[in-house]
Amino acid sequence: MHVRAIVAALAALLALSPLAGAAQSRAPYKIGVTIPQTGPLAGIASQFLAAVELGVADVNAAGGVKGHPLQLDVEDSQGTPQGGLAAMRKLVQVDGVQAIITFFTNIVTAQIPLADELKVATLSPVETPGLVSHSQYSFAHSSTLTGSGPLLRAYWKAHGFKRLAAIYGDNGYGHLIAPMVKTFVVEAGADYNETFIPLDQTDFRGTIARIGEYKPDAIYITAQGSAAETSAMRQIRELGVTVPIFNGSNFFADKQYHAAIGPYSEGMFFVGLGLDRVAGAKFAQAFRAKEGNIPGYQQAELYDMVRIFAWAIDRGGYNGTAVRDQILSLHGQVPSLMGGTITMGSDHYTQTAGMSLWQVRSGVEVRVPSR
């Protein structure tokens, strides 16, 4: 009993010692991730998570945040609003997460009110203009249609396109951006025809045959990099429709996306940001070693988000409101893999560099002038 008493006393003293405080101070800061690990968007999302993992690894290799390592806490959103809400509640209310990276417009739209309710800061690469602008805790680090739309409009007008068919995913994102794209098409002086495709299907030959009957000069397609999107693009070519295809994002570098399109990517146009050859060189090398392919701009955005959270936590502490406040004050203190530094705008979207129109030529993306 005497020995047990001594051990108990030593344990009590140790708990009060500076060494205990130091050990507690090294507890990890969790970065939550709600990502489709199942469902129609799971394929394109796998390389998003790889980019986040590299960002966390680099922060930890540099000493973490005030001696605390970052730790990823990943939950499956299933690619649905309901799944996204359940994943966010689990991360915050069960795991105590104070900063979350999330994906895809339909999921982010559902999560915005919950993020405000739970007072948890979120970052996402959503490209829908204005979606997070009226939120309190949600932010986007992305290229948006506000930046890419004028490039497309200028190209369509300069090349005299008179009939343009658009294909969207039949979900919240597709229906949100369709009116915006239509505006750019009309401003380019072209007639417009739109179609929505379900993301849980992959046979669109009937739909594409009808698009062919419309005799468009070009086709614009965006379905969030899903299998539905890549299937539709393959079938456009397989059914003999040879007009230029314009993709609303720049998923070209994604391994699974690239493999799904195959040779049909040749000549396609993508619009979006690009990885800076200097600022993104180390990341590109590490990503290629990890995944076997070069990263796209979405992966660079996600790596940047880890940097943003690390900076905000370092300045404000690991608390959702403090992290939010620091992100609001971000003005050039964090470097971007797209080049330059990151500033958060008053609309809750970052100001980014590198927006361009790209065309695949001989299997490689090259910048093309929009006029």
Please give the tally of structural domains in the chain.
2
Q: What is the pLDDT averaged over residues 295-314?
A: 94
Q: What is the pLDDT of residues 208-225, one digit of tens each?
A: 999 999 999 999 999 988
Q: Is residue 221 part of a domain?
A: yes
- Distance CA(313)–CA(323), nearest Å, equals 6
CATH number, domain with residue 74: 3.40.50.2300
Do residues 153 and 228 both lie within one domain? yes
More confident residue, 134 or 23: 134
- 3-state DSSP of the chain: CHHHHHHHHHHHHHHHCHHHHHHHHCCCEEEEEEECCCCCCHHHHHHHHHHHHHHHHHHHHCCCECCECEEEEEEECCCCHHHHHHHHHHHHHHCCCCEEEECCHHHHHHHHHHHHHHCCEEEECCCCCCCCCCCCCEEECCCCHHHHHHHHHHHHHHCCCCEEEEEEECCHHHHHHHHHHHHHHHHCCCEEEEEEECCCCCCCHHHHHHHHHHCCCEEEEECCCCHHHHHHHHHHHHCCCCCCEEECCCCCCCHHHHHHHHHHHCCCEEEECCCCCCCCHHHHHHHHHHHCCCCCHHHHHHHHHHHHHHHHHHHHCCCHHHHHHHHHCCEEEEECCCCCEEEECCCCEEECCCCEEEEEECCEEEEECCC
Do residues 282 and 137 both lie within one domain? yes
Q: Is residue 370 part of a domain?
A: no
- pTM here is 0.75
Residue type, 91: L
Do residues 233 and 255 both lie within one domain? yes
Rg of the chain over all Cα atoms, to the nearest angstrom: 23
pLDDT band at 246 (very low <50, low <70, confident <90, very high): very high
Q: Is residue 62 part of a domain?
A: yes
pLDDT at position 11: 42
Do residues 264 and 313 both lie within one domain? no
Q: Is residue 336 part of a domain?
A: yes
Q: Is residue 290 part of a domain?
A: yes
Angle of the 320-328 helix axis to the 297-316 helix axis, nearest 10: 110
pLDDT at position 25: 53
Q: Pairing between strand 99-102 and 70-76?
A: unpaired
Q: What is the pLDDT of residues 52-104, one digit of tens each?
A: 999 999 999 999 999 999 999 999 999 999 999 999 999 999 999 999 999 88
The domain in which residue 252 lies consists of 145-272
Q: What percent of the chain has pLDDT over 70?
A: 92
- 3-state DSSP of 64-85: CECCECEEEEEEECCCCHHHHH
Q: Which long-range contacts (CB under 8 A, 24 or more apart) does 307-313 make?
A: 307/55, 307/59, 307/334, 307/335, 307/342, 308/123, 308/141, 308/334, 308/342, 309/31, 309/70, 309/99, 309/101, 309/121, 309/123, 310/59, 310/65, 310/70, 312/99, 312/121, 313/29, 313/65, 313/99
Candidates 117, 86, 125; CA nearest to 321 is: 117
pLDDT band at 353 (very low <50, low <70, confident <90, very high): low
Q: Is residue 363 part of a domain?
A: no
Boundary (domain end) residue, out of 272, 306, 338: 272
Do residues 127 and 166 both lie within one domain? no
Residue with tokens 């996600």: 302
Q: Is residue 356 part of a domain?
A: no
